[in-house]
């Protein structure tokens, strides 16, 4: 009997030896998050992703395993970020004629918008006295996660803080775009999509696809151009100051 | 099988992107280069490969899911930034709202009005 109990107590540790448990936990929490989200009537300040992350954190805290055990398995799931980024070529190609017709205004406004997205946050945090490593984790906050992760690493930021910042930014951007576009009477799906993609990276883009496919394609465009622009410019500007 | 063939396409373009990034020291992730290459390839062929279209939809919908595992860690390292939370949250919330406002205003000023002013909001599914 004691033998059996001992084996039972070792189970959680053994589950997380292979990535299966971490992947199952992530997917389970994702669907639970979506269900709870619908249950509490889709508040736009609390997306399913946040609920799911809290659920996962709770499970990890309850089980005798550490965040490293979870991360080791979840990294396998993160591998899909690469192919998923490549897959954005499909909406991008579908909207190519629209984009080609608009390349001038896009080229004029997008670099400025992307710069402002990083600058506002870094300036506010710097004024409030945040140290360099916090600033480095906040600067890529509007960039899609594969790019943001490599940027934060290069600037010397914290991966965990950056991911938290990405989620907060995504949620705030979705809320902000829907709220402000209503106030400003903006209904053009191209504009809403671009704003969602530039400011809200992948989370904003997924939201834009829920609005319609034009908004989604322009959001993918905004997201990828912001990512490419920030990836090139941010390290250069950063090293001027630090 | 078609989905798997599409997945292979994505992996091949991801590897191509990785190759270019390494060879020419491009300061961008291989995924983004792969995406641009695939867009160029579609343009060159004059159309999209149906296998790739079929796999891209579920993968793009997964992008939000793929951020989640990284987010979890913040709950475990929160103490590390305990005296910074006010600055971090203000910067993120106020900074993002400001940047949304400025990009909406900028785009409205410079983007020509579209003929098809779409307001078709299909029901959300996610």
pLDDT confidence band for A107 (50 / 70 / 90): confident
Cβ–Cβ gap B72/A80 under 8 Å:
no
Question: Comparing C-alpha atoms, which of A171, A119, A125, A160 is closest to residue A140?
Answer: A119
Q: Which two tokens stand for residue A210?
A: 């829920």
Q: Does the pLDDT value for residue A23 go beyond 70?
A: yes
Q: Does the pLDDT value for residue B114 go beyond 80?
A: no
Instruction: Work out the minimum CA distance from B103 to partner chain A, whole angstroms.
Output: 5
C-alpha to C-alpha distance for B77 and B72, rounded to whole angstroms? 10
Cβ neighbours of B86 in A, within 8 Å: 128
Cβ neighbours of A232 in B, within 8 Å: 27-28
Q: Is A165 on the interface with B (CB under 8 A)?
A: yes
C-alpha to C-alpha distance for A131 and A197, rounded to whole angstroms? 28
Mean predicted lDDT score pLDDT of chain A: 87
Q: How many CB atoms lie within 10 A of CB A83?
A: 22
Cβ–Cβ gap B76/A227 under 8 Å:
no
Among A83, A123, A210, the strongest candidate for a mutation testing the B interface, having the largest count of B CBs within 10 A, is A83
- Give, for A11, the enclosing helix (H) or strand (E): helix A2-15
Mean predicted lDDT score pLDDT of chain B: 83
Cβ–Cβ gap B117/A209 under 8 Å:
no
Q: Is A168 on the interface with B (CB under 8 A)?
A: yes
Considering only CB atoms, B67 lies closest to which of A75, A86, A202, namely A202
User: A136: which DSSP letter?
Assistant: H
Q: How far is CA B92 from the centre of its chain?
A: 19
Q: Does the pLDDT value for residue B60 go beyond 90?
A: no
Considering only CB atoms, A177 lies closest to which of B7, B100, B113, namely B100
Cβ neighbours of B7 in A, within 8 Å: 83
Question: Comparing C-alpha atoms, which of A148, A193, A81, A72 is closest to residue B72?
Answer: A72
State the pLDDT at residue B4. 92
Q: pLDDT tens digit string along A193-228?
A: 999 999 998 889 888 988 888 888 888 888 888 887
Q: Which two tokens stand for residue B114?
A: 């579209």
CA dihedral A9, A13, A15, A18 (to 10 degrees): -160
Cβ neighbours of B61 in A, within 8 Å: 206, 209
State the pLDDT at residue B14. 95
**What residues does each domain of chain B span?**
1-73, 77-111
List, in order, residues 6 or more apart from B55 with CB less than 8 Å away: A87, B3, B6, B7, B9, B10
Instruction: Work out the minimum CA distance from B96 to partner chain A, whole angstroms.
Output: 6
Q: Does the pLDDT value for residue B123 go beyond 50?
A: no
Which residue of A lies nearest to B53 if distances are taken between CA atoms?
A90
Q: Does the pLDDT value for residue A32 go beyond 90?
A: yes
Looking up tokens 């979840």, which residue turns up? A74
Which residue of B lies nearest to A168 if distances are taken between CA atoms?
B92
Question: Comparing C-alpha atoms, which of B22, B124, B76, B49 is closest to residue A215?
Answer: B124
Cβ neighbours of A189 in B, within 8 Å: 118-119
Contact in structure between A37 and A46 (CB atoms under 8 Å): yes
């Amino acid at each position: 009997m004691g033998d059996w109990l001992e084996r039972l107590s070792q189970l959680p540790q053994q589950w997380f030896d292979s990535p299966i448990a971490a992947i199952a936990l992530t997917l389970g929490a994702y669907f639970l998050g979506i269900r709870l989200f619908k249950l509490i009537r889709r508040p736009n300040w609390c997306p399913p992703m946040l609920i799911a992350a809290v659920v996962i954190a709770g499970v990890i805290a309850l089980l005798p395993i550490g965040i490293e055990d979870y991360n080791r398995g979840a990294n396998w799931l993160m591998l899909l970020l690469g192919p998923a980024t490549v897959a954005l070529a499909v909406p991008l190609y579908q909207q190519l004629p629209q984009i080609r017709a608009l390349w001038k205004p896009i080229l004029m406004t997008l670099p400025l918008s992307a710069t402002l997205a990083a600058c506002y946050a870094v300036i506010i945090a710097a004024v409030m006295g945040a140290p360099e490593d916090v600033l480095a984790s906040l600067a890529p906050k509007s960039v899609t996660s594969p790019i943001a992760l490599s940027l934060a690493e290069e600037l010397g930021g914290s991966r965990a803080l950056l991911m938290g910042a990405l989620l907060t930014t995504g949620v705030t951007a979705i809320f902000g775009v829907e709220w402000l576009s209503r106030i400003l009477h903006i209904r053009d799906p191209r504009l809403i999509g671009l704003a969602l993609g530039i400011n809200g990276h992948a989370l904003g883009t997924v939201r834009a696809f829920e609005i319609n496919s034009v908004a989604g394609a322009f959001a993918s465009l905004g997201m990828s151009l912001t990512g490419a622009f920030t990836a090139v410019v941010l390290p250069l500007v950063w090293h001027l100051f630090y | 099988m078609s989905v798997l063939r599409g997945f292979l396409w994505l992996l091949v373009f991801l590897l191509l992107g990785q190759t270019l990034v390494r060879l020419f020291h491009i300061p961008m992730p291989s995924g983004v280069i792969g995406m641009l290459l695939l867009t160029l390839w579609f343009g060159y062929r004059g159309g999209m490969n149906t296998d790739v279209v079929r796999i891209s939809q579920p993968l793009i919908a997964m992008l939000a899911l793929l951020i989640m595992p990284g987010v979890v860690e913040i709950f475990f390292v929160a103490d590390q930034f305990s005296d910074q939370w006010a600055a971090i949250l203000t910067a993120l919330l106020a900074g993002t709202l400001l940047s949304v406002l400025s990009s909406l205003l900028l785009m409205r000023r410079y983007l020509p009005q579209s003929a098809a002013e779409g307001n078709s909001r299909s029901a959300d599914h996610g």
